[in-house]
Structure 1
Amino acid sequence: MKTQIFAPDEITAAAATLRAGELVAFPTETVYGLGADATNEAAVKKVYQAKGRPSDNPLIVHVNSVAMVEQYAAEIPAAARQLMAHFWPGSLTIILKIKPGVLSKTVTGGLATVAFRYPDCAPTLALINAAGVPLVGPSANTSGKPSPTTAQHVYHDLAGKIAGILDNGPTRVGVESTVLDLSTAQPVILRPGAVTQADIEAVIGSIELNHHQVKQDEIPKAPGMKYKHYAPNAQVYMVRPDADWQQVKQWLQEQAAPVGVMATDSILQQLQLPATDLTFSLGTDVTTAAHRLFDGLRTFDHHPTIKQILVQAFPATGLGLAYMNRLNKSAGGQYFKY
């Protein structure tokens, strides 16, 4: 299969491809999603096949209006409507109970709930409108690999496996949306993102942050809760926020093989590493670091001699919670030790 790159002015052609039951990756403000008609079970199954995704991992359904959610949701609680008014379109995914039989188990993972998202990306909203259906949209990458933040990342993983990619350049946020479960009595963040716990609580009051570890035989309610995610080929190690980077520099100098380093510009300037070590700038702070994290992890996949990557950690507060959630999974919980 030849994978076509659609420009933002080729929405009609991309939508026709989706209506024909094929897969088209699309941009959002967070990462690129792998799109299929959410009402076409055969098309949705192709998403799992293309990604190599476990079949019990539910899919987020992307919409371009609250009215589209109303077609599928059993009810939309008042808290959900408040949050939709404040954060949609945007980086907040909301889990709701759905009407029986409106979406296949291939979409829901067999659950009675679905995660809905209204992305803040004009070409994709136009794509949904032209297709006339909501789109499933897990990250458009090989399952377990870092999420794609450019069309080129998508092409690297899925060329020849999907029909097309709608290219809108690099994404703005860089980490996936916050997932909030409103299908239960107590709202719970299942996956942190750019919309923080404090942001949500300012609108609807107290919510919880999920600490539940999904068991092997349990179906997760949201993506990213159960399986290995965001991992490049090399082993990633987190470098604690209070680390002595001069010790890190000394360790790097003792290594026979080159090591990848991802850190802010100020840290990289401190290290003054020789050309034998490859570096990737995370910018100036946690905001730029979140935006660049996946791009950096993918960059080192193009350097097969790199077997270890050190990545600067940040305090897990605000956006740092989302950043550390992704980095921790990428590293398998491993911290740098000297």
Structure 2
Amino acid sequence: MLLNGNDPQAIATAARALAAGELVALPTETVYGLGARADDDAAVAKIFAAKGRPADHPLIVHVLDAEDAAYFAADLPEVARRLMQAFWPGPMTVIVPRAEGVAAASAGGQSSIGLRCPAHPVARALLAAARQQGVRGVAAPSANRFGRVSPTRAAHVADEFDADLLVLDGGDCAVGIESSIVDCSRGQAVLLRPGVLTAAQIEAAIGSPLLAPDAAAPRASGTLAAHYAPRATVRLLSTEQLQQRLSGALPEGLAVYSRTALAFAGCILQPMPLDAVVAAQQLFAVLRDLDAAGAREIWVESPPPAREWDGVRDRLTRAAAAFE
């Protein structure tokens, strides 16, 4: 059921559904999420069932503000507070110690929990209305089948799930890839998943270098080696590898997503934007559109090595890993 996210009555309907333990798909500035009230383990179980997602793969809890974040957290370390102050509302998820007895299913059974305050006005209106219904936070992974391409339009969500799912239409997502995830639960900031926020921006906010993930890092959403995959086979190639392959015989049903390639007969050419922010905003929609156009293989030119491309590079690397 597709509802106008700018309609107050639609927001009220969605808030009541969340309070009753039902699923609601909602827009955020990053991607559309499949939401349930985060403190209701039975409701959260419906997310895992609908997506086909393993129950030990944690979800991100979306909150209206720091007050609601504190409801789910046993502690908000100083590094988390700095990130919240700098980037909330926005595409930043902090992982912090979880309050005992709260949101165990949302956390995938871990003692830590991921929290984010979205900036999208429809998401914020829904969180505010849901709080009036007693809902302090909404667990909301991307609204797609597990491991597939994340949705950035309401129509993408409708394509994934049954028609009776309540979907709030808030237009195209402005950011287009999921939030940065920073583990703040162990004393120092560890970047678990890059997004559109650069490492330099994050380090400036916390006043210290980000660390790389280690074996002790908590499990986090969207960090499996293979993820974000379309139906078509994705090949991530250097500029030289792409040019070499294009000089030979081309497979049937080929699409090319590139900054440098020219049009070739017998393939779909989708230009990659030269700006990392624009590329991120378009990425998942491009992959879905190429699927819809009948592509069997998608050859993707590797993004530039600059750090602002880290989020796009991460998603493409995981999309290609599904076919290795």
- The TM-score with structure 2 as length reference comes to 0.91
Shift of residue 333, structure 1, vs aligned partner = 7.9
**Aligned residue in 1 for 2:252:** 257
* Aligned position for 1:156: 159
Shift of 1:334: 7.4
Contact 2:5 2:122 in 1 (8 A): no
Q: Identify if the C-alpha distance between structure 1 residues 246 and 195 changes in structure 2 by more than 3 Å, giving closer, same or farther.
A: closer
* Number of equivalent positions: 318
Amino acid in structure 1 at the alignment position of 2:129: A
Query: Which amino acid in the other structure matches residue 139 of structure 2?
Result: V
1:281 aligned residue: 271
What residue is the counterpart of 1:131 in the other structure? 130
Task: Please state how far the C-alpha of 1:294 moved relative to its aligned partner.
Answer: 1.0
Does the CA-based 8 Å contact 1:316-1:322 persist in structure 2? no
SS of 2:279's equivalent?
A: helix
Q: Which residue of 1 aligns with 2:92?
A: 92
308-317 or 168-177: bigger deviation: 308-317
How far apart in 1 are the matches of 2:98 and 2:18?
23
Q: Give the Å deviation of 1:310.
A: 0.7
Q: 1:56 to 1:333 in 2, by over 3 A?
A: closer
Q: Secondary structure, in 3 states, of the residue corresponding to 1:120?
A: coil
What's the C-alpha RMSD, in Å, of the aligned pairs? 2.1
Gaps of 5+ in 2: none
Q: Which residue of 1 aligns with 2:119?
A: 120
Residues 166 and 333 of structure 1: CA distance in aligned 2, closer, same or farther (over 3 Å): closer
Letter in 1 for 2:2: Q
Q: CA shift at 1:324, angstroms? A: 0.8
- Cα shift readout 1:262-287 (whole Å, capped 9, x = no counterpart): 123xx25xx1223x312223333222
Q: Deviations over 1:27-65 (max 9, x none)?
A: 111111111111222111100011010111001000011
Give distance in 1, aligned partners of 2:86 and 2:76: 15
Does residue 330 (structure 1) correspond to residue 310 (structure 2)? The answer is no
| In structure 2, distance between residues paired with 1:44 and 1:281 | 39
Measure, in 2, the Cα distance between the counterparts of 1:18 and 1:235.
Answer: 36
Q: For 1:319, which of 308, 314, 322 is the aligned residue?
A: 308
> 1:231–1:307: structure 2 CA closer, same or farther, 3 Å change rule?
same
**1:141-180 equivalence runs, <5 A:** 141-160=144-163, 163-180=165-182
Distance 1:283 1:39 in 2: 40
Gaps of 5+ in 1: none
Distance in 2 (alpha carbons) for counterparts of 1:295 and 1:333? 18
| Deviation by residue 1:79-108 (Cα, 9 ceiling, x = unmatched) | 2222211110011100110221022x2111
Tell me, in whole angstroms, the C-alpha distance in 2 between the residues paired with 1:246 and 1:117: 41
Matched, 1:29 2:34: no
8 Å Cα contact 1:25-1:34 kept in structure 2: yes
Displacement of 1:314? 1.3
One-letter amino acid of the structure 2 residue matched with residue 121 of structure 1: H
Q: In the alignment, which residue of structure 1 is the partner of 2:244?
A: 247
Aligned to 1:234: 232
Specify whether residues 300 and 98 from structure 1 end up closer, same or farther in structure 2 by C-alpha distance, changes over 3 A only.
Answer: same
Contact between 1:34 and 1:138, CA under 8 Å: does it hold in 2? yes
Looking at structure 2, the residues matched to 262 and 145 of structure 1 have their Cα atoms a distance apart, in angstroms, of 18
> Given the superposition, is the C-alpha separation of residues 185 and 199 from structure 1 closer, same or farther in structure 2, using an over 3 Å criterion?
same
Identity of aligned residues (%): 39
Cα deviation, 1:286-317, whole Å, max 9, x if unaligned, reads: 2222211111111122244x221111211343
C-alpha separation in 1, matches of 2:116 and 2:65? 9
The answer for the alignment partner of 1:210 in structure 2 is 212
Q: For the Cα contact (< 8 Å) 2:61–2:140, is it kept in 1? A: yes
**Does the Cα contact within 8 Å between 1:37 and 1:135 map onto a contact in 2?**
yes
Residue type of the partner of 2:264? Answer: L
**Is the Cα–Cα contact under 8 Å of residues 41 and 106 in structure 1 kept in the other structure?**
yes
Q: Are the counterparts in 2 of residues 193 and 322 from structure 1 also a CA contact under 8 Å?
A: yes
Asked whether the equivalents of residues 6 and 164 of structure 1 are also in contact (C-alpha less than 8 Å), the reply is no
TM-score (norm 1): 0.88
State the match for 2:189 in structure 1. Answer: 187
CA contact (8 A) 1:188 1:210 kept: yes
Change (3 A) 1:301 1:209: farther
Q: Is 1:151–1:169's contact at 8 Å kept on the other side of the alignment?
A: yes
CA distance in 1, matches of 2:30, 2:251: 37
